[in-house]
Structure 1
Amino acid sequence: MTDTALIDAALNSKAWPFEEARKLLKRYPNGKPGGEPVLFETGYGPSGLPHIGTFQEVLRTTLVRRAYEVLVGAKPEDGRTRLVAFSDDMDGLRKVPDNVPNQGLLAAHIGHPLSRIPDPFGKYESFAHHNNAMLREFLDRFGFDYEFVSSSGLYNSGGFDDALKNVLRNYDAIMGVMLPTLREERRQTYSPVLPVSPKTNEVLQVAVQVIDAEAGIVRFHDHGEDIDHCILGGKAKLQWKVDWAMRWVALGVDYEMYGKDLTDSGVQSGKIAKILGGRKPEGLIYELFLDANGEKISKSKGNGLTIEEWLTYGSDESLGFYIFPNPKSAKQLHVGVIPRAVDDYWQFRTKIPDQPVEQQVGNPAWHLLRVNGYQGGDGDSLPVTYSLLLNLVGVLGAGATREQVWSYLGNYVENATPDAHPDLDELVGKALAYNSAFIAPTLKRRRPEPNEAAALAALDEELAATSDDATAEELQNLVYEIGKDPHYGFDQLRDWFKALYQTLLGSSQGPRMGSFIALYGIGNTRRLIAETLDGAPDGASQTAG
């Protein structure tokens, strides 16, 4: 594939990362002035622990970053783009999160900057430092190329001092944007600037009078008296929407996406950025993730599927694959979506080498592989689907071991060793964990109806006469023929397969039976049928042979 062919395909691709990246081409037809790298930003509020919603923003932004690099013919190592993961850790603590220890410690510091509150976990300099470290650890785990920047670092070092003076110079114009959006009561105390009280160290929500913009001096009422106070050097922070706009201008941010809940904030911040002499970044407004009950995920409540949970039961790549499609549509996050995400990722990944470039640029796996610098074709495939692994482990029972699973994989996979198939071995461990937590406790094999028992007996006879080296396709055809025989009374083939799943596997859904029989082994499958026909009690099956 030539670079020109790839660029041409990307310019015409309907894949959303390329659609977003083309906004930046329109913004800078001749590149960013002065040869500066195009700056992508993601934001993080460290009042709670990082969650999948935090991760998805970094992933999606990186996808757009890599798409932009394709459009301009750049490589990640060329330095023509940057990604800043920004932590708003000067924000005052509004409430105590539900999912942290030592809640009394945090309750005593309500209103204080997150970076100046003791760490309830007892490990870091502050609560914000702890949560920032958790964010970096996770992003590093996935190999993201990013620069971590903290609000407290820039405020305290004076890095934002010139920007703060600019806000004071344009104080009245900013108030003109914000006041019409507020309730009358809120207008009385609203200020773009939030001083940090020299008496209590709280971030104050008070009316402010600008005394000297160039010196950064303001006047406000602080616990019983009016004081003149310099807001530079970490002695104040800005109100959220103003802070966001100031950051865009001060850092030169060109692209930032955000959730639907911040739509109005984005509008106001864009107006303020213009007042400050800058320009609102390009970006995408994405839908929020929902929990299993269809409710918004909150990092303070901890009601979403955690990063750790996903990675216990599913692969790293499957998480990215689930996040990739349709960012403007809401997605529910629960463990039930993991198996299909794993299998769909590998299905798309396997297609890449045989696809023309026009199809590759629309393949989610192609985009995900490029997140960490992947450039070429990839012929990797998974010899056994995750769903089939789960069915196998389900039949083996809650006490199944990795060694047992690999012994059965030898029926189906050439050179069936963990070293030869590391991706599959990783999924074996995850399948065992998923089975133990979610499948084994719910499996319940039912007794077959008379017509189903007759069909199972016929299947057993056919298997008895079938060679042990029969292919999965040959076994599948054998199963089909029994289900299509009107003698057994199945109105549709799916009724036959449903009966197989429920009586043999204890599940309402299942794999291609030919693949399962080839994996489990003909002899073991016959013993499983015998258990069922002999009236084995309801419940999880015993391990065969």
Structure 2
Amino acid sequence: MTIDPQQLSDAARNSKAWPYEEAKRLAKRYPGGKDGPVIFETGYGPSGLPHIGTFNEVLRTTMVRHAYEELMGYKPEDGRTRLIAFSDDMDGMRKVPDNVPQPQMLAEHLGKPLSRIPNPFDTDDESFAAHNNAMLRRFLDHYGFDYDFISAADRYNGGAFDEQLRNVLRNFHAIMGIMLPTLREERRQTYSPVLPISEKNGVVLQVPVEVVDADAGIIRFTDHEGETIEQSILSGKSKLQWKVDFAMRWVALGVDYEMSGKDHTDTVVQSGRIAQVLGGRRPEGMIYEMFLDANGEKISKSKGNGLSIDEWLAYGSRESLAFYIYREPKKAKNLHVGAVPRAVDEYWQFRGNYADQPLDKQLGNPVHHIHGGKVPSATLPLTYGLLLNLVSLPGVQDKHIAWKFVQRYAPGTSPESEPELDELIGLAVNYARDFVVPGLERRAPTEMEAKALADLDAELAGVDPATSAEEIQNIVFEVGKRYEFASLRDWFRALYETLLGSEQGPRMGSFIALYGVEESRKLIAEALESAK
């Protein structure tokens, strides 16, 4: 269905969904519109490989970009917005990462810009940073992001940042006035907004500097050997301190929007003040909360306590990860494998509701932002949770076997006609194998539970295999009402624990319809046998 752009724009202005709230602040930044494209930026440090935080930031920024286009009535092909993926590959390597080859070779180049460190990987990339930049671009391309890649090294070395570097020297004392009060006394003694790169050993030097000639880009400093050096900072001969670098980059590239994690709150404030000194403006941007691990601790790459994007995608779809990332960005969330099943099912629930919702509700639906307004119409005949219960059973822990049950439950489906369902079955098999089956332990029913199970078996004996899940659910309800369970919840818990080996489970009507009446009766027979 094609929506009138003006109608969409009006609805977007009234929407409270967070991407539109961010977009509205951008719209206020340029009440009459901007002459050139509105620039969105995400930053990446190529000292390591792309990870789930990279995906998180690019995805959320892309959502705001799309929301802004809808708000303003722009079409993507008009080129009125642009997303820059910026690699800070002029940063000096502070330590050798744990997960890279040839660590001893890399250790010999500590302190040098990442773009000037040899490539330890078995690839043709010319440097360590070039390899990781290529990984980033493949990563972003794989997920279909629309972006322009910019390398800090290319801009520094090629002279594109030279005018802003001169600008930093012209405003050297004002920048020092912003930064020094934020530093410890010891750090103040060595701090400089500009980090010269030694012409002797190629290391990014952390030394105080003196401005000799701002317009010529000349500074003076004492190097590691005690020699006083006068050197240009232009054309790749220096690197700015990171808070100053943020500000310079915002001004040089005309960045209008960049979001940051909560741990960079102070950076955003100080860099914003420096950007103003340089004659620019701090970009708009959301401060988002950080992900936590299963124990509620902040995720750290060095600790390895987080969930990688590959780990999520081994058990859940890409859309489910996008759904999880979309929800409540300003609230800390636990990112662990146990969050996958719920995220998958909630994504499909919201997607199933989308087509029948009025426009204002659609714009508040997470799937609108996940799919850039082009939400697929296909739905699923069953939930991921139900699939997990199915493929956790003995003899069904195989994708091809699971499909036989699914096709009986949903005639006319096939791996070819339902590729998303096919993917989901495979993911459910993975999750059940690794996290569900090892913890399953069916208990024997109590005396009353055994009577109720026998009663349910007798009722199912007369049920046609084609009976609907809803009708079977009613039968299960009615059987439970005949016995003195404290509540029907206890009846269903007994079914889960004695038949499936878990404290929680699916709607039993749906499960029996999927697994099959006769197969379900065999589960009941096994439970009754264990009670003898």
| Alignment-derived partner of residue 135 in structure 2 | 134
Secondary structure of 1:254's aligned partner: strand
Q: How does 1:22-33 map to 2 (within 5 A)?
A: 22-32=24-34
1:324 and 1:203 map into 2 onto residues whose CA distance is 38
SS of equivalent residue, structure 1 residue 220: strand
Whether the 8 Å contact between 2:389 and 2:505 is mirrored in structure 1 is yes
- Say whether residues 1:498 and 2:493 are aligned partners: yes
Q: Is residue 240 of structure 2 the alignment partner of residue 238 of structure 1?
A: yes
User: Conserved in 2, the CA contact under 8 Å of 1:39 and 1:253?
Assistant: yes
RMSD over aligned Cα atoms: 1.5
| Corresponding residue SS for 2:495 | helix
Shift in CA distance, 177/411, structure 1 to aligned 2, threshold 3 Å:
same
* Per-residue CA distance 1:177-217 (angstroms, 9 max, x = gap): 11111111111111000111111211110000111112211
Residues 97, 301 of structure 1: 8 Å contact kept: no
8 Å CA contact retained: 1:352, 1:378 = no
The partner residue of 1:342 within 327, 333, 344 is 344
| SS of equivalent residue, structure 1 residue 43 | strand
Match status 1:458 vs 2:460? no
Secondary structure in 1 matching 2:136: helix
1:2 deviates by 2.3
Could you tell me which runs of 5 or more consecutive residues in structure 2 were left unpaired when the two chains were aligned: none
Q: Aligned ranges for residues 2-401 of structure 1 at < 5 Å? A: 2-32=4-34, 35-123=35-123, 124-224=125-225, 225-370=227-372, 374-375=373-374, 378-397=376-395, 400-401=397-398
Question: Aligned letter for 2:422?
Answer: D
- Give the letter for the 2:56 counterpart: Q
2-side partners of 1:348 and 1:155: how far apart? 46
Q: Is the 8 A contact 1:49 1:300 kept in 2?
A: no
Q: Name the CA distance, whole Å, in 2 between partners of 1:120 and 1:433.
A: 33
Q: Which amino acid aligns with 1:440?
A: V
Residue number in structure 2 paired with 1:426: 423
- Distance in 1 (CA, whole Å) between partners of 2:292 and 2:141 is 25
Cα deviation code 1:463-513 (max 9, x no counterpart): 00111111000011111111222xx32111111111111111111211111
Q: Deviations over 1:379-405 (max 9, x none)?
A: 3211111111111000135x7222101
Task: Identify if the C-alpha distance between structure 1 residues 443 and 358 changes in structure 2 by more than 3 Å, giving closer, same or farther.
Answer: same
Task: State the alpha-carbon separation in 2 of the partners of residues 227 and 297 from structure 1.
Answer: 42
Question: Any conservation in 1 of the 2:195–2:241 contact (CA below 8 Å)?
Answer: yes
1:51 and 1:299 in contact (8 A); partners too: no
| 8 Å contact kept, 2:384–2:424 | yes
Native 8 Å contact 1:98 1:301 kept in 2: no
What is the DSSP-based 3-state SS (H/G/I as helix, E as strand, rest coil) of the residue aligned with 1:227?
strand
Q: Contact 2:446 / 2:531 at 8 angstroms: preserved in 1?
A: no
Aligned to 1:403: 400
Amino acid aligned to 1:226 = T
Instruction: Give the partner amino acid of 2:173.
Output: D
- Give the unaligned 5+ runs of structure 1: 538-545
Q: Deviations over 1:208-231 (max 9, x none)?
A: 011111221111111220111111
- Partners of 2:231 and 2:293 lie apart in 1 by 45
Question: More deviation in 108-117 or 427-436?
Answer: 108-117
SS in 1 for 2:364: coil
Separation in structure 1 between the aligned mates of residue 431 and residue 155 of structure 2, nearest angstrom? 44
Greater Cα offset, 45-54 or 356-365? 45-54
Corresponding position: 1:438 with 2:435 = yes
Per-residue deviation, 1:89: 1.1
Q: Work out the CA distance in 2 between the residues paired with 1:301 and 1:132.
A: 23
* Deviations, residues 305-364 of structure 1 (Å, cap 9, x unaligned): 111111111001000000001111011111100011111111101111100001000000
Q: Write the distance in 1 (CA, Å) between the matches of 2:101 and 2:298.
A: 23
Equivalent residue number for residue 468 of structure 2: 471
Q: Distance in 2 between matches of 1:307 and 1:190?
A: 37
1:517 aligns with 2:507: no
Residues 337/442 of structure 1: CA separation in 2 closer, same or farther (3 Å cut)? same
| Helix, strand or coil at the partner of 1:174 | helix
Distance 2:89 2:453 in 1: 64
Instruction: Give the number of aligned pairs.
Output: 528
Instruction: Measure how far apart 1:378 and its partner are.
Output: 4.1
Shift of 1:302: 3.3
| 1:536 Cα deviation after fit | 8.6
The structural deviation recorded for 1:138 is 1.7
Question: Structure 1 464/421 Cα, relative in aligned 2: closer, same or farther at 3 Å?
Answer: same
Cα offset for 1:54?
Answer: 1.4
Q: Which amino acid aligns with 2:466?
A: D
CA distance in 2, matches of 1:61, 1:273: 21
- Output the amino acid matched with 1:383: P
Bigger mean CA deviation after superposition, 204-213 or 122-131 = 122-131
Query: Which residue pairs with 1:541 in the alignment?
Result: none
Aligned partners of 2:204, 2:302: CA distance in 1, in Å? 20
TM-score with structure 1 length normalisation? 0.94
Question: For 1:228, what is the secondary structure of its paired residue?
Answer: strand
Distance in structure 2 (CA, Å) of the matches to 1:396 and 1:165: 70
